[in-house]
């Protein structure tokens, strides 16, 4: 299990990030000031750090100098929106810069992208009775391969990356088809129905009234 350190002094935001990442299968540790962060980085190993800039004790920019030699990828998560701050954070070694407020689905996507880029993301995932190999883009159940189309595979990954989160149809369409949603839900509904049947997720992918769908890994 990949380990994420959340360095955020606003507890409601820290709790939201923690809950979302734990639901997605990550192991999380939360600290609320820069000195705590420096101390725990020395004691434990992490695969990723989500770092606020405005922290008591030691701010996020100062922490970047401390983190860089340890070669732990960092995503800065902050309310500071200026170009100068973004440039400074990236030049100090951050892999990404996410501005508050943010959508949980975007945070999860950025976390996965950074972990994939830094080669820390597991390429094989076991979920819902399936073994998903992201490298070969194959899906098996009990050793037998299930053939999915490209869109079905991308749809399945979207659900797996966002467990217990209600996804709007327009979000699903824009993420899987990579184009603007034009209001026709039939394409999304048809692909969800086919995916459910092919992988046996009739009870895992739930319809959410007037919203879209939610994946439950149970």
Ranges of CATH 1.10.10.10 domains, the chain: 124-215
CA dist., res. 121 & res. 113, Å (int): 9
pTM for this one?
A: 0.64
Q: pLDDT tens across 129-150, in order?
A: 899 888 788 999 988 999 999 9
CATH of domain 3-117: 3.40.50.2300
Q: Is the pLDDT of residue 175 over 90?
A: no
pLDDT in tens, 86-99: 999 999 999 999 99
Which of the listed CATH numbers 3.40.50.300, 1.10.10.10, 3.30.70.360, 2.40.30.10 matches domain 124-215? 1.10.10.10
Higher pLDDT, 122 or 195: 195
Q: Do 50 and 77 form a contact (C-beta atoms < 8 A)?
A: yes
């Amino acid at each position: 299990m990949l380990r994420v350190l959340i360095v955020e002094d606003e507890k409601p935001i820290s709790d939201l990030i923690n809950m979302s990442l734990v639901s997605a299968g990550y192991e999380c540790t939360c600290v609320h000031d820069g000195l705590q962060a420096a101390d725990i980085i020395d004691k434990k190993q992490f695969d990723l750090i989500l770092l606020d800039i405005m922290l008591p004790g030691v701010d996020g920019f100062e922490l970047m100098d401390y983190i860089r030699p340890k070669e732990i990828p960092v995503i800065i998560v902050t309310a500071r929106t200026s170009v100068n701050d973004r440039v400074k954070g990236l030049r100090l070694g951050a892999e990404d810069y996410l501005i508050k407020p943010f959508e949980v689905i975007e945070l999860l996507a950025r976390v996965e992208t950074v972990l994939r880029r830094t080669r820390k993301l597991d390429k094989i995932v076991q979920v819902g009775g399936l073994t998903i190999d992201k490298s070969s883009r194959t899906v098996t159940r009990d050793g037998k391969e299930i053939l999915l189309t490209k869109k079905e595979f991308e749809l399945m990954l979207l659900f797996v990356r966002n467990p217990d989160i209600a996804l709007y149809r327009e979000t699903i369409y824009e993420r899987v088809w990579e184009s603007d949603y034009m209001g026709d839900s039939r394409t999304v509904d048809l692909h969800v129905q086919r995916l459910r049947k092919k992988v046996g997720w009739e009870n895992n992918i739930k319809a959410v009234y007037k919203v879209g769908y939610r994946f439950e890994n149970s």
